Amino acid sequence: MSITKVLVANRGEIAVRVIRACREQGIASVAVFSEADREALHVLMADEAYPIGPPAPVESYLAIDKLVRVAKAAGADAVHPGYGFLAENAAFAEACAAAGLVFVGPPPQAIRALGDKTAARRIARGLGVPTVPGTFEPVAGDAVRAAARAIGYPLMIKATLGGGGKGMRAVHAEGELEAALGLARSEAAWAFGEGAVYLERLLAEPRHIEVQVLADAHGRVVHLGERECSIQRRHQKLVEESPSPFVDDAMRARLGEAACRIATAAGYVNAGTVEFLVDSDRNFYFLEMNTRLQVEHPVTEMVTGIDLVREQLRIAAGDALGFAQGDVTLRGTAIECRINAEDPFAGWMPSPGTITGLRAATGPWVRDDSGAYEGYTVPRFYDTLLAKLVVWGADRPAAIQRMTRALAEYKVVGIRTTIPVLAQIVRHEDFRAGRLSTGFLDRVMPTFAAAKDRARSIAVIAAVLAEYERLGHRTIVEASPPPSDAWRTGRHPGWR
């Protein structure tokens, strides 16, 4: 089967990422956009772009009928869902198939078996893979309080569908349960169109480690190593790396084997990620499987040399994987920092607005996956992710130093971003020593507060300079040239 045109059913940096992969393979791309995204980068980059409705996701990016109708009208033969929105929605995959469109992702039955987190937990339990204590069915009504008491506090309320930290709330005492339940359900319904939730024991500061898998329709399933995703805020990842500084070869083999068994049992095809919580003794517990491409997939690409979106498209076209497990080699270390339009010193409040100045980091082994540009207005309706800054180094210290340099170069003017906190994270002694857990940011964030005023002062100065230059002002400093032989003799007066 040949894929010639792909509708990208998403927005922002992931839509740009998919469009680029299509273009490299000679595949035409079709973008869709809400009224808030008319001037978004993915719209400007695609070969074709079509409006799909108002800003509210339920009327645009979650509207299955509109997406399928546009795909057919544009002559697309495939649909790539990206991540979030409808990426883990079995009904969307079924609607694509019914319309004769190839869904670039797993089959609907695998999405139902694994995209529903409680169903995935049942699969893992049946395979003997340890799971975090909790419910194996969605909970509602009077059963919620009884299940919570049986599990014990603290616990997590989690959406059965979707991911990205949405529809999740920590509950530390019974008195918090009802309010947290309402918030989790409403957030899940808004983000994924489904408000069902389940309960899970809240483990004390584990590591969050996930395994990337690829599976074709010919029975081959391989894993591409693990990613360390422990640095999170509000259950959303902020910094990721591959490989994990905590995982040794023996543990990597065990994690990979468990991940591949779960994927095989569910009849999985395409790219997916199996997530685990890991304690200090290297015991791991199955958390969930994300039946889609992950936000943090670039770090795996950097250490394996495998283009995951290209593989997704090849597998969707019916091609077999061109490599076996023994061919997968991890080289060096890759780190990803998520640059969000948020103010980390004001409760991580979103910071929509117009980007009046932008200078992305560049240089050797630096990658910027971005959906932003200078002059772009960040809308208030969607996820705050602007860009993913990714670096590679021959070893972890080299990668950390490269990220430190890259974050110092990255400048965004006009809105607040997470860059100041990211810069402090990669400089922190615990991060450099690999002492990580899901409680890392809560533990160190108070120590970052001292940098708040300085970061904001720098932002104000940068904004003033950007406006000064925009209005056409230039300052030229004239000085006498150095003696004619200064550079040759090393006697330049500025040298010490």
Give one DSSP letter per residue of 114-166, joined into a string: IISHHHHHHHHHHHT--B-SB-SS-B-TTHHHHHHHHH-SSEEEEESS--TTT
Secondary structure class of 474 (helix, strand, coil): coil
Distance CA 399, CA 335 (A): 7
Contact indicator for 238, 231 with CB cutoff of 8 Å: yes
Cβ-Cβ contacts under 8 Å for 471 (sequence gap 6 or more):
none
Contact 105, 95 (CB under 8 A): no
Q: How far apart are CA 426 and CA 298, in angstroms?
A: 18
Considering just the CA atoms, what is the radius of gyration of the chain in Å?
Answer: 24
Cis upstream peptide for 130 (omega within 30°): no
- 110: its two tokens: 């695998």
Residue 88: Cβ-neighbour burial (10 angstroms; 0-12, 13-18, 19+)? buried
Q: Alpha-carbon distance 70 to 75, whole Å?
A: 9
What gap in Å lies between CA 80 and CA 78, rounded to an integer? 7
CB contact at 8 A, 8 and 42:
yes
Closest CA to 252 of 271, 229, 225, 280: 225
Task: Tell me which H or E stretch contains 12.
Answer: helix 12-24
CA–CA separation, 143 vs 147, rounded Å? 6
For tokens 């958390």, the residue is 287
Which one is catalytic: 233, 292, 314, 416?
292
Whether residue 292 lies in the annotated active site? yes
Going by the DSSP 8-state scheme, the letter that residue 46 receives in this structure is S
Contact between 123 and 192 under an 8 Å Cβ cutoff? The reply is no
d(CA 23, CA 10): 17
Give the C-alpha distances (Å, rounded to integers) separating 466 from 128, 167, 339, 463: 58, 39, 20, 5
- Complete DSSP assignment for 154-202: SEEEEESS--TTTTEEEE-SGGGHHHHHHHHHHHHHHHHS---EEEEE-
Bridge partners, 221 (sequence order): 215
- Residues designated catalytic: 292
